[in-house]
Structure 1
Amino acid sequence: MVIGVLGSGSWGSALSVHFGRNGFTVVQWCREPEVADSINRNRENRKYLNGVPYPDSVEAVSSIDVFFEKVKDVVFSVIPAQFTGDFWRRHRDFLSVRKVICASKGIEISSLKLLSRVYAEVVGGDYFVLSGPTFAREVALGRPTAAVLAGEKIEKTFEMVNLLNTRLFRLYASSDVVGVETGGAMKNVIAIAAGISDGMELGNNARAALITRGLHEIKNLGLKLGGREKTFYGLSGMGDLILTCTGNLSRNRQFGLTIGRGEGKVDEKYVVEGVHTVKAAVELSRRFGVEMPITRAVYDVVYGGKNPSEVMLNLLSRPVKEE
């Protein structure tokens, strides 16, 4: 079986390296021809995953037509969330006859839909979601990792888990696609808040409070979207949230740190997915009447230009209530 990976960033590259190292033939599509050339020539993605060797079982291509000629079975979609829907629309005929695993995390701003809903509407066919506490570099280096694979039909999901599970990349099956996706998307927003707090040197207590109350916000929104409560206490909820809020490999946390330290200017074009997700999350909180003060605080800093110190003070000054 040939596994296809759509995307040449750090996560797409990590998946390619991992599965190539574990006995699969892998074809990785790279939007930038020079990245594909670097992988094939140097056996390394020097732009997005520098220092990690590629196994010989991975081939990189820059032609999407060549990619679909070579890959007939399983496709990992690792296209950035805000470009995913457009990509799927342009290639729906190819994707509908393959098993697609979405490994991107985010909410489409234009429609306020999770990527599973976008896929169901524009493509159809077999679809799964991969999420959990997974730093790309650690997966690529063969560090022990656990993640969740979710699909609407649990029997088919278990078939895919049994196919892809490896000794150092343990997969769990879930039928709660919405819950798994919501946790994976929203943890980036809370990680920005945790980064801002740490950048301001507010301490470990403040970070722990943000993580805990942030999980509460994620769960409440996820339940309104149709997720199941227990999912948010698992790998794709609490697990991913803890990792992204505390690990220094987290780009969303690093983005928050620069804001908290006053070192960087917020730029909407910044590639950190939490910057996009927070905009969708605020709109969804209004639509469903979900109180999300931490999410709103991040939005006010990123898009409202508010001073992080003022926003944090407002969070601490909210009326007391029963937990």
Structure 2
Amino acid sequence: MNTTHFLLLLLTIGMLSSCTRKAAVTKSKNATTEEIKQQKSTPEYAPDGTLHGLVMIALDRMPCHGTCPWDRVVFYEDGAVYYTGHKYVDKIGDFKAKTPLETTQNLATQAKKIGFFQMENQYPVDPAQKVADFPMTRISIRKGNLNKTITIQNDFPQELANLVKDIVAATEKLHFQKINKAPESVEAPNNDHGTLILTIKRTPCYGSCPWYEASFYDNGTILYKGEKYVDHIGSFTLQTKPEIVRALTNKAQKIGFFKMEANYPVNPAHKVTDLPTTTIMVKNGRTGKTITMQNEIPPVLIEYTKEIEGTLMRLDYPEKK
């Protein structure tokens, strides 16, 4: 993980008077302590498909318009730690490690001491104060019956910045092993699956936007990976009729996909920070194109995205054991 990059970013933010401030340890207007206690406690699957009990600590660093680190680390109640590096970090892919339970407990205790569970759910509190160029970081902590998630971008308490640094530091001390899984990245070729001809990838946002990616091959194989806020979490190898996949690429040709702009909005200044990004790649014969969209999207492209997602919704997903 590119810790230096992250710490330098936090240091830069700390130098701006409007970006960090003294923590106001009062009850959040968005969630009372009683409401926090009642949040659902459900174990979630690790990247390798195994269950390790409840998530005690999770740190998500979101992508930005530049080269901000994009990754996720999760500490489970049994001491398992999983790291996923997406982009602009030292380790790309899924990794796992083991840490003493004391490490996780100490971080959770630190969070409680700084009033984490009484802080606001997001910073800045006023959406109008958001700084578009700053990346977002999401911190989730569980301590006893308390469970809370805070999303920060700018104008957040210095205590939160210190907590993030300590989580990153604890992660850096671990010895990670790469998780060897069947290829599932939308960019990863696999001869057994035929030729990759279409991919769709939706990235996380400030709220609960669907986060997943899917790869469509010409023989009807579909590799799907659901990350969060989707019906199917985990990695799946699915199958549909080859003609259904081919119909999707033919539809791209019909709507003029290969002649559209590579990015929407065309003008980067029109991007809306809170909106998720969807990227679609289509190959039709020798023609190939990738389009990344956020807002100001042509209606025909929105409908095409819905058609791809409709195909994914109609597939049979095996239940995770």
Question: Which TM class, normalised by the smaller chain length?
Answer: under 0.3
Structure that is richer in helix per residue: 1
- Whichever of the two has the greater Rg, that structure is 2
